[in-house]
Chain A
Amino acid sequence: AQRVTQPEKLLSVFKGAPVELKCNYSYSGSPELFWYVQYSRQRLQLLLRHISRESIKGFTADLNKGETSFHLKKPFAQEEDSAMYYCALSPQEYGNKLVFGAGTILRVKS
């Protein structure tokens, strides 16, 4: 069975502080991992995917297969980063659905 765990419901940091949103997954095969972001009253938007290994809006995420983690990081948080962040896994099978974690609200305070 596939499972994604985001242990923190809410992460509150000050502007300029580093951010790390945790994500752990459970899947026996080779998954594809994503981070989606949902700003207030907007749709789910793709932020990052592990295969592209790029940095978007200063965020990075590295897949650690040994620890089955895909934590999202940013060295210096900005107020506009405040949003809901979802980690998601896509198993390499069937219709390639997305399995979501519960989400973490990131609140960046000034």
Chain B
Amino acid sequence: EPEVTQTPSHQVTQMGQEVILRCVPISNHLYFYWYRQILGQKVEFLVSFYNNEISEKSEIFDDQFSVERPDGSNFTLKIRSTKLEDSAMYFCASRYEIGQPQHFGDGTRLSIL
């Protein structure tokens, strides 16, 4: 069964550095999402992406965050200048079309030092 894959599984970065989290959605899926989960808290929506543009973003998704689909397979989340509070598990998800369920990757654990 096809899966959403995320790399790396764990990223450790110094505060203030840029970080890029990578996701390969399921190949025929058209809608892409990023979520994050701070330790001990709920899974929170960050951004949704469709047709090469952001369709919705949360208040968490400020100017430090950006998403890109640089080619036909990857979907990336960039944090420009990381802060301690960006430490979290970041999940990528994709779905084929509205009305179908979202499929999640294993997540990337981001640790900011």
A binds B: yes
A residues with CB within 8 A of B: 34, 36, 42-46, 49, 86, 94-103
Please state if A86 and B56 are interface contacts (CB–CB under 8 Å).
no
Q: What is the CA–CA distance of A100 and B45 in the complex, to the nearest angstrom?
A: 8
Most chain B CB atoms below 10 A, which of A34, A44, A95? A95
Which stretch of B17-25, B71-79, B80-88, B99-107 is in the interface?
B99-107
Main secondary structure of the interface of A (DSSP, over half): loop
Provided the pairs A98-B35, A98-B102 are in contact, do residues A43 and B107 lie with their beta carbons within 8 angstroms? Answer: yes
Which B residues are CB-close (under 8 A) to A45? 104
**Cβ B48 vs Cβ A95 within 8 A:** yes
**Residue in A43, A49, A96 whose beta carbon sits within 8 Å of that of B98 in the complex:** A96
Q: Say yes or no for B90: interface residue by CB 8 A criterion.
A: no
One digit per residue, 1 when the CB lies within 8 angstroms of any chain A CB and 0 when it does not, for chain B 1-26 equals: 00010000000000000000000000
Q: Give bound CA distance, A96 to B29, whole Å.
A: 14
A98 neighbours in B (Cβ, 8 Å): 33, 35, 43, 45, 93, 102
Partner of A96, one of B48, B105, B107: B48
Known: A34-B101, A102-B42. Is A97-B48 also a contact (CB below 8 A)? yes
Residues of B within 8 A of A86 (CB): 43
A103 pairs with B42, CB closer than 8 A: yes
Chain B residues contacting A44 (CB-CB under 8 Å) are 43, 91, 104
- Contact, CB under 8 Å: A97 / B104: no
Closest residue of chain B to A38 (Cβ to Cβ) is: B104
Interface assignment of B66: CB less than 8 Å from any CB of chain A: no
Q: A43-B105, A49-B101 are in contact. Are A95 and B50 (CB under 8 A)?
A: yes
Q: What is the CB-to-nearest-CB distance from B24 to chain A, in angstroms, rounded to a whole number? A: 14
Extra contacts, 7 of them, besides A98-B102, A100-B43 (Cβ < 8 A), are A43-B4, A44-B43, A95-B56, A98-B45, A99-B45, A101-B42, A103-B43
Residue of A nearest to B33 (CB): A97
Does the CB pair B42–A95 fall under 8 Å? no
Q: What are 17 A-B pairs at a CB distance below 8 A?
A: A43-B104, A43-B107, A44-B43, A46-B101, A49-B101, A86-B43, A94-B55, A95-B31, A95-B55, A95-B56, A96-B31, A98-B45, A98-B93, A98-B102, A100-B42, A102-B42, A103-B42
